[in-house]
Amino acid sequence: MSTPDLPWLASIGRQTLAIEPTPLQKMERLSAEIGGPEIWIKRDDCTGLATGGNKTRKLEYLLADALTRGADTIITYGAVQSNHARQTAAACAQLGLNCHLLLSRRVNWPHPSYLNQGNVLLDRLFGAQLHVCDLGQVDGTRDALLEQLKQEGRSAYEIPAGGSNPIGALGYVRCMAELARQADALGVQLGQIVHASASAGTQSGLVFGANALGLETHIMGVNVFHPSPETLRNRVQHIIRGLCERHPQAGVNAEVPIDINHAYLGEAYGIPSAEGLAAIHLAARMEGILLDPVYSGKAFAALIDQVNLGNFNEHSAIVFIHTGGHASLGAYADAFADPEPA
């Protein structure tokens, strides 16, 4: 059966940044190793912008909106090793926009490489201006920066952390349609989707998109950021409501079910977990695929554990959305100093 599309989405402004479609690949060796349903991977680590990642899709809509509004300067937010900040910096370089990154020291990872390598190094290569501060200083730093830019005659556009709002989430509404077309062409039954969930834009877009397409696909977001799963659930719900208000023609119920799995956060956001590191080693050794210790590694650890627990339907495939992040591996080199997990 052919997959329906979303014609209303084509009329919304989008600045092309990503290489699409990203591949949908079967993880042959890993599926056999783990057992259970077939595991497929949607390679959004291959979006092409600054080593790739899920933020590219969000930035296509956010930066289109910024340019429409006449912005010449972009301000965005994240932790020191923010993947979103790195991709925003690269997109701004490509489009000739000034870029200011407000990076908060919210992660207690006491290794020098964290502050200088990985995404931070790339931010600087892309010409972004970095404003590194403690978490409690972000608002004051932002206010001072906005005043400075105003005095300079700049037109600033603010992008929220992760690019996650009803504009950015459109990137994953579009991704859901892309994935559905690929699965249909390959004869893959889209029973279950697993992905890392943090700022809520990816999950809200996927859920909204699946419902707009009329798909009966279970989407599990693995919480890798919030101490409370309800905080993340509320953020996802808030963005979905915003999408419903902006795009009623999609016919989506704003109160759609949202599945958040909170069991794999580990010690805290940005702190590698033993299970996540083991998943990184397994994906690298079995499939030649790089995950990261903050997002995709923890989410893939959840997928493996849920398969082992028998919590997935064995008669339909699992699709793992690889949201990128391997650019931060060098910043976490110390996490890999211990012997490889058995």
**Residue 145 parent element (H or E):** helix 138-151
Cα gap 161→173, rounded to integer Å: 19
Candidates 31, 82, 104, 197; catalytic one: 82
Q: Is the distance from CB of 325 to CB of 86 less than 8 angstroms?
A: no
Cα gap 68→16, rounded to integer Å: 14
Per-10-residue mean pLDDT for the chain, 342 residues long?
A: 76 97 98 95 97 98 98 98 98 98 96 95 98 97 98 98 98 98 96 98 98 97 96 98 98 96 98 98 98 98 97 93 97 82 50
Give the start-to-end residue ranges of the domains of the chain: 7-53+166-336, 55-163
Which residue spans within the chain are E strands per DSSP? Answer: 24-26, 39-43, 73-79, 98-104, 129-133, 156-159, 190-197, 218-223, 259-261, 317-322
Residue 334 is predicted with a pLDDT of: 93
First-to-last alpha carbon distance for the chain, in angstroms, is 43
Residue 147 is predicted with a pLDDT of: 98
Amino acid at 320: F
Amino acid at 65: D
CATH of region 55-163: 3.40.50.1100
CATH of region 7-53+166-336: 3.40.50.1100
Tell me the sheet residues that pair with 223.
Answer: 197
Q: 39-43 and 24-26 as β-strands: parallel, antiparallel, unpaired?
A: antiparallel
Q: What is the DSSP letter of 35?
A: -
Has this prediction a pTM greater than 0.85? yes
Cα gap 212→4, rounded to integer Å: 9
Residue 4 is predicted with a pLDDT of: 63
Which residue is listed with tokens 């599945």?
Answer: 259
Residue 11 catalytic? no
Residue 339 is predicted with a pLDDT of: 57
Counts of helices then strands in the chain (DSSP H, E): 11, 10
Cα separations (Å) of 175 from 59, 84, 248, 278, 319? Answer: 13, 17, 19, 28, 13
Beta-carbon neighbour count of residue 289 at 10 Å?
Answer: 21
